[in-house]
Structure formats: structure tokens, C-alpha cells
């Protein structure tokens, strides 16, 4: 199997195709950039299901797989504050993240399957420092826990600024 693939999000005649990366015989990665698919007017805050398919076959990238696979497209919450905004390296800290009520967080659906407790669909990314699960409190508040930096010496004395981003679909 080739190391390349294509990922298609949407329905026949109305879709976006992006390059995918085959990681191994059981896993591949499709990164859909924000804004690649316009969010439908009237879409619920918790998202809409978008059909998803993949294709291989080197340069042809056809036919695409069939099936009932979907991807949840959602409107990105508008983060207005994270408190505290400065934390000490090497320690885990709860960070309360607030969203604007006009573009709120939403409680993620329970993942399907028996091992749903092993998954967390809402994640906080602290730049290059890592990604951690988030805890939903309400529509305007979630809690993120900072990742433990393996060695605080990796952080310069003056500190480092990182972007805090939230993924609502894992």
C-alpha cells in the first residue's frame, strides 16, 4: 500500500478533498484545516455530521470507500479568556478556559463502543508542550490541565509563550 491517500469530506458533487498520510496498515491521518468546509447556516453548535471517505491507488485516488463513516464538523468556540494565564513549568495546573456565549463550548457526545471511558473528545493543546483532555463544565467554561514538562530545565528562565487551542472532536 502506498504511503499516500486522499480524504474526502462531504457528499458527491459537494465535497473537499485533502491529502492523507498512511501511518501503518491500520491507521491514517487526515488533517482538515479550519474553514475548509463552510459551516452550514442553521447548524447546531455541537456540530453536523459530514460524510467521510478515503481513496488510495497511487495517482488515481479512485474509487473512494463507501460506508456510513462520518466526521463531526463544528463551529469553533470563541475563547475569550484563560485563567491563570501564566503557570509554573514542571507542575500541572488547572486552567479555566472561558468562551463567548455567542460561540460556546458544547458537551461532547459519548463516543460509541464499550470502551468509551478510554476516550475524551475534547482536548486542550498547549503549543509544543503537549495535548491533554479537557473537562466540560458548561457552555462557557471548560477546565484544561497543563501537561507536565518532563524537565523544567527545558523551559528558559524567562518562560515561554504557547498558544492554547481547543479541539471539540478529539
pLDDT in tens, 53-105: 888 866 656 677 777 777 777 778 899 999 998 887 777 889 999 999 988 88
Same structural domain for residues 84 and 53? Answer: no
* Residue 170 banded pLDDT, cuts 50, 70, 90: low
Q: What angle do CA 33, 37, 39 make, to 5 degrees?
A: 115
Q: Which of 50, 73, 96 is the last residue of a domain?
A: 73
Same structural domain for residues 113 and 64? Answer: no
Same structural domain for residues 42 and 64? Answer: yes
Print the domain residue range for 51: 4-73
Length of the chain measured in residues? 170
Same structural domain for residues 30 and 92? Answer: no
What are 7-37's pLDDT values in tens digits? 888 877 778 888 888 888 888 888 777 777 7
Same structural domain for residues 29 and 105? Answer: no
Strands 94-99 and 141-145: antiparallel
Same structural domain for residues 83 and 156? Answer: yes
Please give the full DSSP string across 28-82, using - where no structure is assigned. Answer: EEE---TTSSPPPTT--TT-EEEEEEEE-TTTT--SPP-SS-EEEE-PPP-EEEE
Same structural domain for residues 160 and 87? Answer: yes
Same structural domain for residues 48 and 92? Answer: no
Helix, strand, coil percent values for the chain (each to nearest 5): 5, 40, 55
Euclidean distance between CA atoms 127 and 92, whole angstroms: 15
Same structural domain for residues 136 and 162? Answer: yes
Same structural domain for residues 40 and 93? Answer: no
Same structural domain for residues 93 and 122? Answer: yes
Q: Which of 73, 99, 132 is the last residue of a domain?
A: 73
Same structural domain for residues 62 and 96? Answer: no
Give residue 90's Cα distance to chain centre: 25
Task: Note whether 98 and 90 are within 8 A (CB).
Answer: no
| Number of domains, the chain | 2
Q: Which of 30, 55, 73 is the last residue of a domain?
A: 73
Amino acid at each position: 500500500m502506498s504511503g499516500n491517500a486522499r480524504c474526502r469530506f462531504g457528499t458527491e458533487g459537494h465535497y473537499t478533498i485533502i491529502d492523507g498520510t498512511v501511518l501503518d496498515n491500520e491507521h491514517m491521518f487526515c488533517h482538515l484545516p479550519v474553514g475548509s468546509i463552510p459551516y452550514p447556516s442553521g447548524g447546531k453548535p455541537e456540530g453536523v455530521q459530514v460524510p467521510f471517505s478515503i481513496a488510495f491507488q497511487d495517482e488515481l485516488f479512485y474509487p473512494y470507500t463507501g460506508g456510513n463513516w462520518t466526521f463531526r464538523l463544528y463551529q469553533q468556540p470563541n475563547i475569550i479568556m484563560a485563567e491563570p494565564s501564566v503557570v509554573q513549568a514542571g507542575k500541572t495546573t488547572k486552567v479555566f478556559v472561558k468562551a463567548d456565549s455567542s460561540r460556546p463550548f458544547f458537551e461532547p457526545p459519548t463516543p460509541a463502543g464499550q470502551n468509551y471511558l478510554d476516550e475524551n473528545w475534547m482536548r486542550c493543546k498547549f503549543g509544543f508542550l503537549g495535548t491533554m483532555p479537557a473537562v466540560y463544565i458548561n457552555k462557557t467554561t471548560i477546565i484544561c490541565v497543563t501537561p507536565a514538562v518532563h524537565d523544567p530545565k527545558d523551559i528558559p528562565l524567562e518562560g515561554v509563550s504557547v498558544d492554547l487551542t481547543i479541539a471539540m472532536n478529539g
